[in-house]
Amino acid sequence: MIEFQGKLAAFEFNHWQYHIPISDGISKQMMDENHRRVLVWIKNEGPFHMALMKAKDYWYVLINQELRKRLNLSEETSFSLKIDRDHSEYGHEMPEELQVLMDQDEEGATFFKSLTPGKQRMMVYTVTKVKNPESRMKKALAIIHHLKLVKGKLDYKQLNELIKYYNKL
Each residue's pLDDT tens digit, 55-108 = 888 999 999 988 999 999 999 999 999 999 998 888 788 999 999 999 999 999
Q: Is residue 34 part of a domain?
A: yes
76 and 119 within one domain? no
Examine the domain organization and report whether 36 and 102 are in the same domain.
no
Q: Where among 85, 115, 144 does a domain terminate?
A: 85
The answer to whether residue 90 is domain-embedded is: no
The structural domain count of the chain equals: 2
Please check whether residues 81 and 105 belong to one and the same domain: no
Task: Please check whether residues 36 and 14 belong to one and the same domain.
Answer: yes
Q: Positive or negative CA dihedral for 25, 30, 34, 35?
A: negative
Cα of first residue to Cα of last residue in the chain, in angstroms, is 44
**pLDDT for 39 beyond 80:** yes
Range of the domain at 61: 2-85
Q: How far apart are CA 7 and CA 32, in angstroms?
A: 25
The Cα–Cα gap between 45 and 81 comes to 9
Phi, psi of 33 (to 5 degrees): -65, -20
Q: Do 112 and 133 share a structural domain?
A: yes
Do 52 and 125 lie in one domain? The reply is: no
Q: Which among 60, 85, 110 is the end of a domain?
A: 85
Mean pLDDT of 32-45: 90
Examine the domain organization and report whether 29 and 81 are in the same domain: yes
pLDDT of residue 14: 62
Confidence of residue 5 (pLDDT cuts 50, 70, 90): very high
- Domain-located, residue 12: yes
- Domain co-membership, 103 together with 79: no
CA dihedral of residues 56, 60, 65, 68 (deg, nearest 10): -130
Count Cβ atoms within 10 A of the Cβ of residue 121 and give its class: 0-12 exposed, 13-18 middle, 19 or more buried.
buried
Tell me, yes or no, whether 105 lies in a domain.
yes
For position 77, which CATH number holds?
A: 2.40.30.100
Q: How confident is the model at residue 135 (pLDDT cuts 50, 70, 90)?
A: very high
- Report, as an integer, the average pLDDT of 33-58: 90
| Residue 32: predicted pLDDT | 80
- DSSP H helices in 51-105: 65-70, 96-104
Determine, yes or no, domain membership for 91: no
Amino acid at 76: E
- Does the structure show a pLDDT above 70 at 159? yes
DSSP one-letter string for 92-116: SPPPHHHHHHHHH-HHHHHHHHHS-
Domain's final residue, options 85, 112, 143: 85
